[in-house]
C-alpha cells in the first residue's frame, strides 16, 4: 500500500477502464440483446439483495434502519441531488456520439448505488486503513469492474461516472477509519449492515426490471443506522 486510500484510487481507476471497454462493446450489440441482458442483471441483482438480507438475525433491525434512513434521506433529498449530479455530468459530456447517452442519468444513479450501498464500500476502506489489508478492496474492485463493464454496455457512459461516487464514498470512510483508529463494527453489526444493504439492492433490482422506480438513494442513511441500532441493543 503506497498511501492510505490507495485501494479506493485503484477501485475507481479500474471502473473507468472497464466502463470504457463496456461502452465500446455495447454499441456493437443489438438493442434486443442489451434489453434482455439488463433484465437478467435486474433478476440477478434481486437475488443478491435477498441473499444479503438473509444475513440478519432480527428483521426488525434492518426494518427500523430502512425506515429511519428513508426519512432522513428524503429530508436531505439524496436521490434528487444524485440525479442532479447525473444531469450536470450529462451536460458536460453531451458532445458524445454514443447512442446510449439517453440512459446517462439512470446509468449513473443505478451503478453508483450498486457500488456504494453494499457493506464492502464501508468495510474495505476500514480494512485498508486499520488492518493495512487490501484483500477486501481488491475483491470489491473486481466486482465493481465487472458490474461497470456489463452495465455500461447496456446503459451507456453514465455508468463510468459512478467511479466518482465510489471515490467520494470510500474516500469518506477512509477518513473515518483514520480518525476512529480501531474496529468499531463487530460481526452482528456487519450482518445487519449487509441485511439493510440487501433491501436497498433489492430495490435497485426492481428498478432495473421497470417494476417500480423506488428512491433507492434516499435509503442510504439506513446503512449508518443499522450498526448504531445493534450497538444500542447490545450495550443499553
Domain residues of the chain, as ranges? 6-235
Tell me: the pLDDT tens digits for 53-110? Answer: 998 999 999 999 999 999 999 999 888 888 888 778 777 665 544 544 557 888 888 8
Residue 138 C-alpha from the chain's centroid: 16
User: Residue 27 — pLDDT band, cuts 50, 70, 90?
Assistant: low
Give CA–CA dist 24/92, Å, rounded: 19
- The torsion angles phi and psi of 133, rounded to 5 degrees, stand at -120, 120
Place of cell 488492518: 131
User: Residue 12 — pLDDT band, cuts 50, 70, 90?
Assistant: very high
Q: Which three cell numbers stand for residue 143?
A: 466486482
In order, the DSSP letters of 178-228 are HHH-S----HHHHHHHHHHHHHHHHHHHHHHTTS----GGGGTTHHHHHHH
Report the chain's mean pLDDT, rounded to a whole number.
Answer: 83
- Does the predicted TM-score (pTM) go above 0.75? no
Amino acid at each position: 500500500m503506497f498511501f492510505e486510500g490507495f485501494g479506493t484510487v485503484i477501485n475507481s481507476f479500474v471502473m473507468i477502464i472497464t466502463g470504457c471497454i463496456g461502452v465500446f462493446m455495447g454499441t456493437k450489440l443489438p438493442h434486443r440483446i442489451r434489453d434482455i441482458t439488463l433484465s437478467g442483471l435486474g433478476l440477478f441483482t434481486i437475488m443478491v439483495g435477498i441473499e444479503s438480507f438473509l444475513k440478519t438475525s432480527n428483521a426488525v433491525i434492518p426494518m427500523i434502519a430502512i425506515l429511519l434512513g428513508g426519512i432522513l434521506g428524503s429530508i436531505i433529498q439524496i436521490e434528487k441531488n444524485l440525479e442532479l449530479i447525473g444531469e450536470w455530468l450529462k451536460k458536460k459530456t453531451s458532445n458524445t456520439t454514443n447512442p446510449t447517452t439517453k440512459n446517462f442519468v439512470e446509468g449513473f444513479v443505478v451503478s453508483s448505488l450498486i457500488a456504494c450501498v453494499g457493506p464492502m464500500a464501508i468495510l474495505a476502506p476500514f480494512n485498508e486503513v486499520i488492518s493495512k489489508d487490501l484483500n477486501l478492496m481488491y475483491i470489491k474492485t473486481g466486482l465493481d469492474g465487472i458490474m461497470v463493464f456489463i452495465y455500461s454496455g447496456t446503459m451507456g457512459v453514465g455508468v463510468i461516472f459512478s467511479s466518482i461516487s465510489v471515490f467520494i464514498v470510500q474516500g469518506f470512510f477512509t477518513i473515518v477509519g483514520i480518525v476512529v483508529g480501531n474496529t468499531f463494527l463487530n460481526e452482528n453489526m456487519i450482518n445487519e449492515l449487509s441485511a439493510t444493504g440487501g433491501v436497498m439492492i433489492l430495490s435497485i433490482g426492481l428498478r432495473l426490471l421497470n417494476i417500480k422506480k423506488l428512491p433507492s438513494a434516499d435509503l442510504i442513511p439506513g446503512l449508518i443506522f443499522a450498526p448504531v441500532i445493534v450497538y444500542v441493543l447490545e450495550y443499553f
